[in-house]
Amino acid sequence: MTDLLKIYQELQEKKWVNLSHQIREDSPHFPALPALEKKDIFTLKDGFHVQQFSVVGQYGTHIDAPIHFVEGGRWLGEIELKDLFLPVVVIDKSKEVTENPDFILGKQDILDFEAEHGQIEPGTFCCLSIRLVQALAKSISYAQSG
């Protein structure tokens, strides 16, 4: 058995968490960006279903390329796929955001997380879960003022 097959089999036994959600015309997005637009080009009456989507790149669950924030940073096409395979931790602050829509994650929150779960190792991808979709369903504004 090859090493890759062993790794694959081991990964199949692990817990997988889907962090994505479907984008629709009414999906939450930064107000300065246009909403997703879609239209049917062909329908099943034509024998197959084809849709056309118009959406900005920074919409829904996505990866921001370093060039998005840093002059001279890399474009997504310049990032090796293996560089996107990282250990991950998820800091869940959905309760705090539900109670306070203006909640801001601070250093102490990270230290508290590490006290409970262990030190976050260098190179770890850190995710902040605020369960935005659920929060928006409760009328918490996506873009807080101030």
C-alpha triplet 76, 72, 59: angle, nearest 5°:
40
The pLDDT assigned to 133 comes to 54
Helix, coil or strand: residue 121: coil
The pLDDT assigned to 134 comes to 55
Q: 6 Cβ partners below 8 Å, 6+ apart?
A: none
The pLDDT assigned to 60 comes to 65
Element (H, E) at 92: strand 88-92
Mean residue pLDDT of the chain comes to: 84
pLDDT of residue 91 exceeding 90? yes
pLDDT digits (tens, 9 = 90+) for 110-142: 999 999 999 999 989 998 888 765 555 444 454
Active-site residues: which are they?
A: 68
